[in-house]
Amino acid sequence: MNWRLKWHKLTHWEYWPLWAIYYPLFPVWVYFSIKARSFFFFNAANPSMKNGGMAMESKMDIYNLIPNEHIPETIFVAKNSNPKQMLERILEAGIKFPFIAKPDIGMKAFGVEKIWNAQEFQAYCKKTPENFLVQELIPFTKEVGVFYVRMPGESKGKVTGIVSKEFLSVIGDGNSNILQLIKKDPRSHFQLKPLQKKFGAILNQVLPKGEEFILVPFGSHTRGAKFVDISHKLNDGILNTINSVCSRMNGFHYGRLDILYHSLEDLAAGKNFSVIEINGAGGEATHIYDPKHSLFFAWKEITRHWSYLNQISILNHREGHSYLSFSDGRAMLKANGALEAQLKMI
């Protein structure tokens, strides 16, 4: 990494490692732990999710909680499955190429790929370390992350933040090849190695002026997406749509919904959208990563959401939902770290 990129990363906190962002808030977590009388109180936040949705939860189990009409067609694939037989089952279910493959237990969009043909599917089956999911490709091209909080006993919750996700792309100028365009923007330059591995010689192509080339078709910050805070666009229609989904999910009180949609107007009307993922207690209020926001804004928002998480967990605990023991919590964190290392290799 050249010095210009290093300086850009140093002066833009959104690129800092998570420990640099969250470790200064450790005393805040200790405070909430004392209030709950448990360091791993989050387990009680979403009783229907393993570990409250903090880590190591099955995405398939979460999809089973969401109303069917609001999720993509999804098939679970066991790691030891026969690739040929599974592909036949996938195609028989009406899922056509290209489709999305992603780890059943995953994080940060590691291991998420668009599969174009049988050869790519077989290659994915071979390299993935765990069970995974296959999903139909949703036609909507816009993605938002909507953070939702509902106190136990309340029939309706509230939206505490909305982030719009701009997929990593380059725009042609008629002269530069894709590789040169990538290097012009630090956001895409940081992704250079995986992009070279993915596209190879394609990066030598020159794009016509004004033509957009999508580099990563996923709204993941760790894979280059730009996050834009559009919380101010929340209205009664969007809130009602989110409530209509989440109120039907038994035992879900806190987390972020990642949604593909056609327009905010349609989302407010409750149509033309699909929930592609829900992150529970481990979900971040990702509107904090808008480049316009300061680190102090991020710390304020993290603390605010931890406060909601703490209140919900304490109330659910009083109703008999357990916290994680310290030993189980440590085991979860250790397993999550090991899985992250595996997924980064895909």
Domains, the chain, ranges and CATH?
A: 1-72+139-167+217-309+323-346 (3.30.470.20), 73-137 (3.30.1490.20), 168-216 (no CATH)
What's residue 165's pLDDT?
Answer: 97
**CA contacts within 13 A on the Cβ side of 118:** 9
Whether the upstream peptide bond of residue 208 has omega within 30° of 0, thus cis, is no
What's residue 109's pLDDT?
Answer: 81
Backbone angles phi, psi at 220, to 5 degrees: -110, 125
pTM of the entire predicted model:
0.94
| Cα separations in angstroms, 204 against 1, 179, 197, 217, 239 | 21, 6, 13, 20, 45
| Closest residue by Cα to residue 248 from 71, 76, 55, 60 | 71
Which residues are CB-neighbours of 163 under 8 A, at least 6 positions away? 144, 145, 227, 228, 229, 230, 231, 286, 287, 289, 290
| Closest residue by Cα to residue 40 from 331, 341, 237, 336 | 331
> Using CA atoms, how far apart are residues 322 and 3, in angstroms rounded to an integer?
49
What's residue 129's pLDDT?
Answer: 86
Q: What is the pLDDT along the chain (346 residues), one digit of tens a residue?
A: 689 999 999 999 999 999 999 999 999 999 999 999 999 999 999 999 999 999 999 999 999 999 999 999 999 999 989 999 999 999 999 999 999 999 999 888 888 999 999 999 999 999 998 899 999 999 998 999 999 999 999 999 999 999 999 999 999 999 999 999 999 999 999 999 999 999 999 999 999 999 999 999 888 899 999 999 999 999 999 999 999 999 999 999 999 999 999 999 999 999 999 999 999 999 999 999 999 999 999 999 999 999 999 999 999 999 999 999 999 999 999 999 998 888 887 7
> Using CA atoms, how far apart are residues 59 and 18, in angstroms rounded to an integer?
23
